[in-house]
C-alpha cells in the first residue's frame, strides 16, 4: 500500500517520465517535490507541504520517502499510474524548472540550498540535535524563502532549459546547447573529465563550442 497522496505520486511520475536519473536518486526526487511546492506557493497557488519534515540533508516528504524506500516497484507503478491519469494537473513549465535545478546541482549543493530557506532553518537546532521527524511548518516560509525561489526562477528560464542538454561527470554538471552535443568527441569528454577534477568549478558549468570545435567555459 502506498501512503503518498495523489499529488505527490503524480509529480513523482512526472519526474519518472521526464528525468529518470533524478527520479532514481532519492534525495533529488525529494528536492524536486520540495521546489515544486515552493514555486507553487510563490506563484500564489495552493502548495502541499503536508508530511514535510526536517532532516539533516534538508526537507523531506516523509510519506514519499517511506514509500520509495519500502517498496520501490510498487511506488514506481503508483507514480506512473497517477501521472498517466493526472498529468494535466501539473504545471509542466514549473516541473521542468524544478527538474533542471535538481539536474544541474549536486546532492550536497541541493542540501546547502534548502538549508538557506527559513522553512528548514526555523527548526535547524532541533534537527541538528538529532530530533527525529521534526515537522516543518508552512508558516515559516518567509520573504527570504520567496526571494530564493524567485532567483531560481530567473536563473533558469524555460528558453534556456529547452535548448540545453546536461552532461554529468562525477559531481559536476556541464550544460551544453543541444545542437552541440552530437559534435562532442572523445577528446572533448577527456577535457570535461579533467575539468571535473577541479573542485573550484561551480555547478552548473555552461559550455559552448566555438566554430573551431573548441570548448569555451562560461
CA separation, residue 34 to residues 6, 10, 163, 186, 215 (Å): 15, 14, 25, 37, 34
Give residue-wise pLDDT tens across range 51-69: 999 999 999 999 999 999 9
Closest CA relative to residue 170, chosen from 210, 138, 199: 199
What pLDDT is stored for residue 208 in this prediction?
Answer: 95
Of the pLDDT bands very low, low, confident and very high (cuts 50, 70, 90), residue 83 is: very high
- Do both 16 and 121 map to the same domain? yes
- Do both 150 and 167 map to the same domain? no
- Do both 44 and 88 map to the same domain? yes
What pLDDT is stored for residue 199 in this prediction?
Answer: 66
- Do both 27 and 93 map to the same domain? yes
Q: How, if at all, do strands 205-209 and 172-177 pair?
A: parallel
- Do both 25 and 100 map to the same domain? yes
Which residue, chain included where needed, has cell 497557488? 45
- pTM of the predicted structure, to 2 decimals: 0.96
Structural domain for 206, as ranges:
163-217
- For residues 104 and 166, the answer to whether their CB atoms sit within 8 Å is yes
Task: Specify the number of domains making up the chain.
Answer: 2
Of the pLDDT bands very low, low, confident and very high (cuts 50, 70, 90), residue 216 is: very high
* Euclidean distance between CA atoms 44 and 46, whole angstroms: 7
Q: What is the arithmetic mean of pLDDT over 214-218?
A: 91
Domain termination residue (choose one: 156, 184, 202): 156
Q: What angle do CA 179, 11, 151 make, to 5 degrees?
A: 60
Give residue-wise pLDDT tens across range 132-142: 889 999 999 99
Q: How, if at all, do strands 134-135 and 164-169 pair?
A: unpaired
- Residue 217's SS3 state is strand
- 173 in any annotated domain: yes
Residues comprising the chain, all counted: 218
pLDDT for 198 beyond 80? no
The neighbouring-strand residues paired with 168 are 173
- Do both 26 and 120 map to the same domain? yes
DSSP E strand stretches across the chain: 52-55, 58-61, 134-135, 164-169, 172-177, 205-209, 215-217
- Do both 170 and 106 map to the same domain? no
Give the single-character DSSP code of 105: S
Of the pLDDT bands very low, low, confident and very high (cuts 50, 70, 90), residue 74 is: very high
pLDDT for 180 beyond 70? yes
- 40 in any annotated domain: yes
Share of the chain above pLDDT 70, in %: 100
Amino acid at each position: 500500500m502506498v501512503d503518498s497522496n495523489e499529488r505527490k505520486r503524480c509529480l513523482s511520475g512526472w519526474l519518472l517520465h521526464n528525468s529518470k536519473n533524478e527520479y532514481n536518486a532519492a534525495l533529488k526526487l525529494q528536492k524536486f517535490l520540495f521546489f515544486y511546492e515552493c514555486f507553487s506557493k510563490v506563484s500564489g497557488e495552493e502548495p502541499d507541504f503536508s508530511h514535510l519534515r526536517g532532516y539533516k540533508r534538508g526537507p523531506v516528504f516523509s510519506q514519499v520517502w517511506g514509500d520509495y524506500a519500502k517498496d520501490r516497484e510498487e511506488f514506481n507503478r503508483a507514480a506512473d499510474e497517477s501521472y498517466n491519469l493526472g498529468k494535466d494537473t501539473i504545471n509542466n513549465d514549473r516541473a521542468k524548472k524544478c527538474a533542471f535545478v535538481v539536474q544541474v546541482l549536486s546532492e550536497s549543493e541541493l542540501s546547502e540550498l534548502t538549508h538557506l530557506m527559513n522553512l528548514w532553518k526555523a527548526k535547524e537546532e532541533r534537527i541538528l540535535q538529532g530530533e527525529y521527524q521534526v515537522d516543518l511548518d508552512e508558516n515559516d516560509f518567509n520573504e527570504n524563502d520567496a526571494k530564493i525561489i524567485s532567483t531560481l526562477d530567473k536563473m533558469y528560464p524555460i528558453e534556456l532549459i529547452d535548448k540545453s542538454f546536461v552532461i554529468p561527470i562525477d559531481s559536476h554538471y556541464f550544460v551544453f546547447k543541444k545542437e552541440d552535443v552530437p559534435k562532442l568527441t572523445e577528446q572533448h569528454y577527456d577535457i570535461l573529465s579533467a575539468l571535473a577534477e577541479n573542485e573550484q568549478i561551480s555547478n552548473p558549468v555552461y559550455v559552448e563550442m566555438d566554430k573551431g570545435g573548441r570548448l569555451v567555459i562560461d
